[in-house]
């Protein structure tokens, strides 16, 4: 029997400033930022499903995501794209194939929003 589960527990995102990143991601996702910053460099975003952990200890220019390693779900890609534009988020692509687009966080990590 394999002891490793086929389940992702969390995804780490390297960030420069844990407080600024926490506030940016929480604002973007419409969630509260009242959780604790652990060990001075970790913040666990309160997500549904797989967790996202912001980590300022692992940040280095060569460690930022140059390709999306996960995507955030949406049921309305047009509304999500418009929302990101309103928030002045750096959009890297337009809506591709009517289903997804890429953007960057303030640290330059490339992320994706995709219609589920």
Q: Where are the domains of the chain?
A: 10-61, 64-116
Average pLDDT over residues 107-116: 96
What value does the mean pLDDT of the chain take?
95
Contact 9, 51 (CB under 8 A): yes
pLDDT in tens, 50-107: 999 999 999 988 889 999 999 999 999 999 999 999 999 999 999 999 999 999 999 9
- Does 42 score more than 90 pLDDT? yes
pLDDT at res. 89: 98
pLDDT at res. 97: 98
Superfamily (CATH H level) for 64-116:
2,3-Dihydroxybiphenyl 1,2-Dioxygenase, domain 1 (3.10.180.10)
Q: What is the pTM of this model?
A: 0.92
d(CA 98, CA 16) in angstroms, rounded, equals 33
Helices (H), the chain: 18-29, 77-86
| Among 106, 114, 100, CA closest to 64 | 106
pLDDT at res. 10: 95
**Number of other residues whose CB lies within 10 A of the CB of residue 105:** 20
Average pLDDT over residues 32-43: 95
């Amino acid at each position: 029997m394999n002891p490793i589960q086929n389940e992702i527990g969390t995804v780490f995102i390297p960030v420069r400033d844990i407080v600024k990143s926490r506030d940016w991601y929480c604002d973007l996702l419409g969630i509260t930022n009242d959780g604790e910053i652990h060990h001075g460099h970790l913040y666990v975003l309160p997500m549904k499903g797989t967790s996202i952990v912001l980590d300022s200890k692992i940040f280095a220019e060569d460690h930022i995501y140059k390709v999306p390693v996960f995507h955030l779900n949406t049921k309305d890609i047009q509304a999500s794209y418009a929302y990101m534009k309103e928030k002045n988020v750096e959009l890297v692509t337009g809506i591709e194939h009517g289903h997804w687009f890429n953007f960057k966080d303030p640290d330059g990590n490339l992320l994706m929003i995709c219609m589920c």
